[in-house]
Structure formats: structure tokens, C-alpha cells
Structure 1
Amino acid sequence: MLSKNKLKYIQSLHQKKYRQQQGAFLVEGAKSVQEVLRSGFEVELVVATDLFYKENAHLTDHQRTPVEIASVADLERAGTLESNNAALAVVRTKENRPLLAEPGEIALILDDVRDPGNLGTILRIADWYGIQKILCSETTADVYNPKVISASKGSFTRVNWWYGDIVSVLSQLTGTPEPRLAVYGAFLDGEDVHKLTASPAGGYLIMGNESNGIRPAVAQYVTKRITIPRYGEAESLNVGIATAVLLDNLRRGAS
């Protein structure tokens, strides 16, 4: 059974300010906890049912991770999921290190993507398409939000991110007469991505806010405006779905 102090500590990580203060975040559910135990993240504590521990002792024992055996009721009380019959982990956050795309690589830039579920989905999509770097504006949802981690389905362990002033980064990338790498931006009035011949040299794909799109301060650095052609009457696409469609076409167009 979890002590009151440990329960209070774990519950505090539901909130961003305490995640930042403690330098830790929550990972919940069997698959996600298994993924993080196999990753390069430092796991501070695992709270698990006896069955989960017995089936996964090789993972916790290998990393010498402290384990607390708890009931399903304790897990659900401590975590954020409505149903969790396996485990949760307290994991140390990583240093916020700058990221840039290398030649031949595609990186994502997220400009004010605020919905945690969308961000988690984008992490999963990035992982599917082999995108390992995501640059996030300071107003983009917190990647350590439990909803983001849950929606990523373990992909957070294979994708790197950085938060900061993306306008400053873009100004440095395009500060020469010829940009080193292409900067694609998603716009309603852009070039049909189905007809795009993507540069094999790689570049950046910018995705904007769910309601307002890419901010003008960011849009000025886009070298190629692209769009997904509409054949029906829907007003818009979810930013996660749009990211998947655009990445798929960029991957095919550069092959």
C-alpha cells in the first residue's frame, strides 16, 4: 500500500508546476511503463500490481528500479487514468537541449499546438514516420502532461523534443541568402502537397495552432507553403491527422 507521502507526491505530478519543480513526470499503463523501462529515461519509481511486477521483474531488476506493490485502487487513486490495472512510473524529465535537423532529415516544428491529446498523437505519428526531433514553441502543450504521454502510446521514448523561441531558431536557419534546408508550412492556401516534389536534403515541417494556424511571426520564415487538398465539405482537419498526411507525402515526395 502506498504511503500518504508517496501518494501525495505522485498526485502532485498531475500538475505542470510540480512536474517542473520536481523534475519528474508520470507514465501510466502496462505498455507505456514497459516502454519507459526499456528506454534511456531514468525511472525513479514504479508502482505496480503484484502480477505486473512478476511478469516484468526482468525490466525493473535490470535497472534496479525501486518498486512499490499496490492495488488497482491505489494505482487509480494515484494516477490520472480512469482504469489502470497494471502500473505507473515516476520518471525523471530530460534536459531541454536545442535540436536542429541534419541534412537529409525532416524535423517538426509545432507553433502553439495546445491540445495535449493532439501533441501525444503527433509524437506517435512522428515515431511512425521516423521523425526524431520536434521543436516546440513555448506555448505548445507540455510534453510531460499525462494526457500527452498516454496518447503517444510509448512513442515519447523514441522522439526528442525542445521547447523555446522557435522564431529565433527560424531566423537563424534562414539568415543566409539561401536557406540550408527547406521550411515547409501548413496553410489552407498552400501548394497541393500531392504534387510536391520534396527536397531529399530534408528540412522542417511547421504545424500551427488548432484554431489559428501558424502565427505571422513564424510564417515569414516558411520557404514552401503546402496544403492538403479538400475534396469534400469538412471545414478543417485535426492537426494530428494533418501532420500524418503531410509527413506521408513529404516522405514519398523525397524518395
Structure 2
Amino acid sequence: MLSKSQQKLINSLQNKKYRKKNGLFVVEGVKGVSEFLNSKYIHHELFSTEDLFSLPFVDITETDLNKISFLQSPNKVLGLFRIPEPKNIVDLGLIVALDNVRDPGNLGTIIRLCDWFGVKQLICNEGTVDCYNPKVVQATMGSLTRVNINYLNLSNYLEMTKQPIFGAFMEGENVYSAELPRSGILVMGNEANGISSEIEKLVSKKLSIPSYGSVETAESLNVATATAILLSEFRRTTER
């Protein structure tokens, strides 16, 4: 049975302040919870309408689930997991770095893309949305368990790295004809403003995705869509 204190705790975890204070985040749905249970993440408590995982759980009703879920259509189970200590950054291979990506859906999708294209390290500056935001966690579809994410001062990191730094810009070199290495850092910018001027100064090579439609009517690509295209090109050209 769901207690008022449990409901209050779970509801508070929608806010980054309370996720940090309690060291907990929310995972919802059978598939998502299953992914995290089968990872190195430590589960704190499970709330479910059914016995799904042969683990201790708080038996709740559909009404209770609706009270604590952040989804419009809750799916049987909600889990609380502990936020782990960040792992050390491995400055090797292909890395994605985010400069003030604010939309949870975009970050979640980018984490999934990193997982799909074998990018193990994602670096975010402090202005990027929290990867344990419930909307981000949901959008990752479990990929959060397989991508190492660090939040730091991005300009300091880029100043110290020995890797080539690539950035997505409207006026960059056509990515379809550019020479791309196996190892490097791909920087993606804010949804509205792109890569900041501070970070732009540190970029070794600017890349662009050419438009084949009407420039007058088509706006720039969504940051997650652009990330997908660029990562695909990095992998395609190095697999030849």
C-alpha cells in the first residue's frame, strides 16, 4: 500500500533539487525498470500493480500508480533507483559533448543515439538538462544504463583534451565530403542558439549537414536529428 510519505518523496523527484538531495531518480514502465534492474544501477524501491520481477515491492493499485506516475499512461511499475557517483571520463574514441541542450526529449534521444552508435562517453556542460530528469530517463528507453555521462565545465575540458574537436554549424564543411576520424569529440549546441561563442573558439573543425530543400522555408534540424546524421557519418566513413 502506498503511504503519503512515499507519494510525497516520489512526486518531489520531478525536481532536480530533490533528486540530488535524496540521491534517487524515477524509472517507469516494465521495460525501463527491467533494463535498470539488469544493470549496475542499485534499486531503492519498487512500486507495482503486479509481481513482475520476483523482488520485494510495494503492492499498489492503478489509482495509486496514477498518483505517483509522471506519465499520461502509467505502465504497471515505477522504480526508485540510486543516482551513482560519476565515473571517470575516458578521453578516447568517439565522444559526444553537449553545450546547453535543454529539452529532456532531445537529451533522452541523444543518449539512445550514443548507445546505438557505440558512443560510450557523453559529456554535458552544467547548462544541459539533468540526465535523471524523469522525461529524459523515459526517452532513453534504458540506454542510460549503457552510456557514461559526466557534467562539467565543458570549455575547461575541451581546452585540455588532445582529441580533435568537431562542432555542428550551419556554415561548416559538408559532413558528406569531410574526412572524419575514428576518435574525436562531436559538440552539439543549444536548440535555439547552437554552440556558444566560448565553445566555438575551441572547435577544430566545423561540420554542417547540407539542406536539399528550400532554404527559405526549412529551419535548422532538431539537435537530436542532427546528432543522428553526424554520428551515422562518423561511423560510416570510418567503417569503409
Q: TM-score if structure 2 supplies the norm length?
A: 0.95
- Cross-structure match for 2:158: 170
Query: 1:72: Cα distance to partner?
Result: 1.6
Query: 1:98: Cα distance to partner?
Result: 4.1
Taking the TM superposition and a 5 Å limit, the aligned residue runs for 1:17-96 are 17-50=17-50, 53=51, 55-57=52-54, 60=55, 66-96=56-86
Query: Partners in 2 of 1:235 and 1:84 — Cα distance?
Result: 35
Q: Helix, strand or coil: the match of 2:53?
A: helix
Identify the match of residue 168 of structure 2 among 181, 186, 198.
186
Which structure 1 segments of 5+ residues have no match?
61-65, 174-179
Query: 1:56: Cα distance to partner?
Result: 2.4
Identical pairs, percent: 42
Give yes or no for the alignment of 1:139 onto 2:127: yes
Q: Mean Cα displacement is larger for which, 132-141 or 72-81?
A: 72-81
- Residues 192 and 227, structure 1, Cα contact 8 Å, conserved in 2: yes
Q: Match of 2:194, as an amino acid?
A: G
Query: 1:96: Cα distance to partner?
Result: 2.9
Query: Partners in 2 of 1:46 and 1:24 — Cα distance?
Result: 12
Query: Partners in 2 of 1:188 and 1:168 — Cα distance?
Result: 25
Which structure 2 segments of 5+ residues have no match?
none
Query: 1:208: Cα distance to partner?
Result: 0.2
Identify the match of residue 210 of structure 2 among 229, 249, 255.
229
Higher helix share: 1
- Residues 26 and 89, structure 1, Cα contact 8 Å, conserved in 2: yes
Q: Deviations over 1:102-121 (max 9, x none)?
A: 1xx10110000001110001
Q: Helix, strand or coil: the match of 2:102?
A: coil
Give the paired residue count: 236
- Cross-structure match for 1:204: 185
- Residues 28 and 75, structure 2, Cα contact 8 Å, conserved in 1: no
- Cross-structure match for 1:254: 238
Query: 1:100: Cα distance to partner?
Result: 3.5
Q: TM-score if structure 1 supplies the norm length?
A: 0.90
Query: 1:164: Cα distance to partner?
Result: 1.1
Query: Partners in 2 of 1:72 and 1:37 — Cα distance?
Result: 22
Q: Helix, strand or coil: the match of 1:225?
A: strand
Query: 1:146: Cα distance to partner?
Result: 0.3
- Cross-structure match for 1:109: 97
- Residues 87 and 148, structure 2, Cα contact 8 Å, conserved in 1: no
Query: Partners in 2 of 1:101 and 1:73 — Cα distance?
Result: 47
Q: Which runs of 4+ in 1 moved over 6 A?
A: none
Query: Partners in 2 of 1:199 and 1:117 — Cα distance?
Result: 29
Question: How large is the Cα RMSD of the aligned pairs?
Answer: 1.1
- Cross-structure match for 2:148: 160
Give yes or no for the alignment of 1:244 onto 2:234: no
- Residues 87 and 150, structure 2, Cα contact 8 Å, conserved in 1: yes
- Residues 45 and 91, structure 1, Cα contact 8 Å, conserved in 2: yes
Query: 1:49: Cα distance to partner?
Result: 1.2
